[in-house]
Each structure stands twice: as C-alpha cells, then as structure tokens.
C-alpha cells in the first residue's frame, strides 16, 4: 500500500467578535497606562519604571491582537489526522493528532446522521474558517481520554484521503458539484 500525505491550510475569517476583542485590548491597555501614569505622579521615585511598564503594556497588547490572526493546517499522513493552529503566520501549535480509524462519526455540519454519536460530547472545538460552507464537516472521536466533537473544512483531497481509512458506515461527505 502506498503512503499518503495530504495537507491543507485554511485561514480563519475575521468576525465582529475579533473587532470587539481588539477594541477591548486597546481600551484595557489605555486604562493600564493611565493607572501607571497616575501612580508615577504620586510616587516620583517610581518614574524610572514608567517607560519599561509602558513598553510592556504596548508589547503585550500587540501580541494579543496579532494572536487573533489564525490559520488551521490539516495533515493526513497515512492513517493519522493532525490539526495545527498557526498564529500570525509565525507560531504553530498542534491541537489534534488522532487515528482516522478511531473516528466514531463524520458528517457535513448541521446534518442529523449519526446523531447518537454526537451526544454527550465533552468539548466542541472549531478548527474551521468560521464560514459554514460546503466543505464544513464535523467528526467525533476520543482524544486524550475525552469524547471530542471537532469542526473542520477538509477539501476534496483531504476527504479522499480520510475515506480510505474511515470505518464503513461511519462517514458521509457532502457531495460537491
């Protein structure tokens, strides 16, 4: 049997929630800066630390805002699916590694097939763009001792690679014309 390696990169779409998050971070940074200057005015011997604290607040705020730029990478290697989050095109975090054969159910998002497998799930993780489209699917599997419900957007190549290793009767992919 031939080895399989397929990968796909999807970019998370910006939502109004991301804008609210950015505004909140900027507001909080402003408030912390004002508190720092107020303390410095009442305690002149601390004024040496003001530039350092100001730089730390700006740097921390900038990193929190940049962390909202996310991409997801799906890799199918033989019988294994890996999902990574890439923050701001510079930092990578592995969030899921599992055997495709262990999937209990896989279906298009919003379908009712295999509903009994999606009951009593410990956590729902969304590793999709945020737009619910033709390629948005969900699956249930055991991961780190918990029953996980994961939402993702595999393209046709990833779907074909997954089909080869899924148990019969466990999956249904949306047919794309």
Rounded alpha-carbon distances, angstroms, from residue 147 to 44, 67, 154: 56, 27, 21
User: Across-strand partners of 98?
Assistant: 81
Q: 130-133, long-range: CB within 8 Å, 24+ apart, which pairs?
A: 130/12, 130/13, 130/15, 131/13
For residue 115, the Cα-to-chain-centroid distance in whole angstroms is 24
This prediction's pTM? 0.82
Task: List CB contacts of 6: < 8 A, sequence separation 6 or more.
Answer: 75, 76, 157, 158, 160, 161
pLDDT tens digits along 38-50: 887 888 777 778 8
- Report the DSSP pairing between strands 137-143 and 146-152: antiparallel
148: left (phi over 0), alpha (psi -120 to 50) or beta: beta
Strands 91-99 and 105-108 come out as unpaired
Give CATH for domain 5-12+70-163: 2.30.29
Q: Where are the domains of the chain?
A: 5-12+70-163, 16-66
Extract the residue ranges of the chain whose pLDDT is less than 70: 1, 175-177
Strands 123-127 and 146-152: parallel
- Any residues with CB less than 8 A from the CB of 54 and at least 6 apart, and which? 33, 36
Q: What is the pLDDT of residue 134?
A: 80
């Amino acid at each position: 049997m031939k080895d399989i390696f397929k990968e796909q990169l999807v970019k998370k779409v910006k939502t109004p929630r991301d804008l609210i998050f950015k505004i909140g971070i900027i507001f909080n940074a402003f408030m912390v800066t004002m508190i720092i200057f107020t303390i410095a005015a009442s305690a002149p011997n601390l004024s040496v630390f003001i530039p350092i604290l100001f730089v730390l607040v700006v740097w921390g705020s900038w990193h929190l805002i940049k962390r909202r730029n996310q991409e997801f990478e799906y890799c199918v290697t033989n019988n294994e699916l890996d999902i990574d989050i890439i923050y701001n095109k510079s930092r990578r975090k592995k969030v899921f590694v599992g055997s495709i054969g262990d999937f209990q159910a896989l279906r298009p998002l919003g379908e009712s097939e295999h509903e009994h497998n999606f009951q009593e799930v410990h956590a729902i993780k969304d590793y999709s763009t945020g737009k619910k489209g033709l390629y948005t699917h969900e699956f249930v599997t055991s991961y780190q001792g918990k029953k996980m419900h994961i939402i993702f957007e595999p393209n046709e190549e990833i779907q074909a690679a997954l089909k080869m290793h899924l148990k019969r009767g466990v999956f249904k992919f949306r047919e794309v014309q």
